[in-house]
């Protein structure tokens, strides 16, 4: 009697920069809603030690360790310890021989600029430079980044991919969190939809098991900008669905560090104790504290 092989595991992480959690109920995000309905969407409270800035927050997301370990304290990454605590695309490629992919338009993520790159050595990368720091130029950049990712997801076979979209954050900085900002969130969701449609259209999709993680790094003040400790700035969020992800929010506080831990878990990999990860997979059971402790 023959048995079917286990499905091949894949992970897609989509990082959408600067999306306020309280903005989501006011806009149309049907593709994010599908991810949340199949799994969960929950808040992340940025800890007191971590500035509400893209550099340190994304570093924590992709390394699975906090700021004291990875050493990224701002948007200039100089002085980092990413050689000791690498991003998951680099660790998987170098230590596990996995095929990984990153697409982004923000220089420090992929280029040796401002102390970067954050993603040191994925198997494959696509960098798209915005023509200028305007809201519309970043929209064009995100469209091109999404197009690059669609091409790779359709024609190649990365086991783990990270796709970064930066236009929502840039719109918040330039125009505040008004109508254009909300529209930018909707356009980001449309790009998420393109990525999900591409995954579902893969010839081998029926024989694959996909985990999808969508995460933001921080919020914004009403007038635009971040870096402070207001509720709007320090509240981030993550959504996730996949074969090992229960429906409904985990019964514990979510952290940025959990994203990398879930990436490894979704591939069926136990994290090495030498990695000293600070996060846990979203699917990890809650361990009750014994009475009297």
What CATH number did the domain enclosing 171 receive? Answer: 3.40.720.10
Q: Which two tokens stand for residue 56?
A: 């340190």
User: Average of pLDDT values for 138-167?
Assistant: 98
Mean pLDDT of all residues belonging to the chain: 95
User: Average of pLDDT values for 200-204?
Assistant: 97
pLDDT higher than threshold 70 for residue 287: no
Res 288: pLDDT: 47
Q: Looking at the domain assignment, is residue 280 inside a domain?
A: no
Res 4: pLDDT: 60
pLDDT in tens, 20-79: 999 999 999 999 999 999 999 999 999 999 999 999 999 999 999 999 999 999 999 999
pLDDT higher than threshold 70 for residue 1: no
pLDDT higher than threshold 90 for residue 216: yes
Q: How far apart are the first and last CA of the chain?
A: 52
Q: Looking at the domain assignment, is residue 241 inside a domain?
A: yes
Res 90: pLDDT: 98
pLDDT higher than threshold 70 for residue 3: no
Look up tokens 């809201």; give the residue. 135
Res 182: pLDDT: 98
Q: Looking at the domain assignment, is residue 39 inside a domain?
A: yes
Q: Looking at the domain assignment, is residue 292 inside a domain?
A: no
Its domain, for residue 42, covers 8-275
Q: Looking at the domain assignment, is residue 131 inside a domain?
A: yes
User: Average of pLDDT values for 76-99?
Assistant: 97
Instruction: Name the β-bridge partners of 14.
Output: 163, 214
pLDDT higher than threshold 90 for residue 250: no
Look up tokens 């199949």; give the residue. 38
Q: Looking at the domain assignment, is residue 293 inside a domain?
A: no
Res 289: pLDDT: 45
For residue 102, report the phi and psi dihedrals to the nearest 5 degrees.
Answer: -135, 135
The predicted model scores a pTM of 0.96
Please give the angle made by the CA atoms of 97, 149 and 281, to the nearest 5 degrees: 55
Q: Looking at the domain assignment, is residue 138 inside a domain?
A: yes
User: Average of pLDDT values for 238-257?
Assistant: 93
Report the C-alpha dihedral over residues 265, 30, 24, 137, rounded to 10 degrees: 90
pLDDT higher than threshold 60 for residue 238: yes
Res 86: pLDDT: 98
CA distance 228 to 276: 29
Sign for the CA dihedral angle at 49, 80, 159, 97 comes to: negative
pLDDT higher than threshold 60 for residue 240: yes
Number of domains in the chain: 1
Q: Looking at the domain assignment, is residue 127 inside a domain?
A: yes
């Amino acid at each position: 009697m023959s048995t079917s092989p286990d499905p091949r595991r894949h992970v897609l992480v989509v990082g959408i920069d600067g999306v306020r959690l309280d903005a989501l109920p006011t806009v149309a995000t049907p593709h994010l809603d599908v991810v949340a309905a199949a799994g969960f969407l929950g808040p992340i409270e940025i800890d007191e030690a971590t500035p509400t800035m893209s550099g340190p927050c994304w570093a924590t997301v992709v390394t699975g360790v906090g700021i004291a370990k990875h050493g990224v304290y701002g948007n200039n990454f100089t002085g980092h310890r990413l050689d000791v605590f690498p991003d998951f695309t680099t660790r998987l490629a170098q230590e596990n021989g996995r095929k990984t992919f990153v697409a982004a338009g923000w220089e420090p993520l992929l280029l040796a600029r401002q102390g970067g790159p954050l993603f040191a050595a994925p198997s494959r990368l696509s960098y798209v430079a915005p023509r200028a720091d305007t809201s519309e130029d970043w929209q064009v950049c995100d469209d091109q980044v999404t197009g690059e990712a669609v091409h790779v997801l359709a024609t190649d076979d990365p086991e783990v991919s990270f796709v970064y979209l930066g236009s929502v954050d840039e719109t918040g900085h330039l125009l505040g969190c008004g109508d254009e900002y909300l529209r930018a969130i909707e356009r980001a969701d449309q790009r998420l939809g393109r990525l999900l449609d591409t995954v579902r259209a893969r010839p081998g999709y029926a024989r694959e098991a996909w985990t999808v993680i969508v995460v933001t790094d921080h919020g914004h003040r009403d007038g635009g900008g971040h870096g402070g400790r207001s509720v709007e700035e320090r509240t981030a969020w993550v959504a996730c669905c996949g074969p090992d992800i229960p429906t409904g929010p985990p019964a514990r506080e979510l952290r940025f560090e959990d994203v990398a831990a879930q990436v490894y878990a979704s591939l069926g990999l136990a994290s090495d104790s030498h990695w000293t990860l600070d996060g846990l997979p979203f699917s990890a059971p809650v361990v009750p504290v014994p009475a009297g402790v």
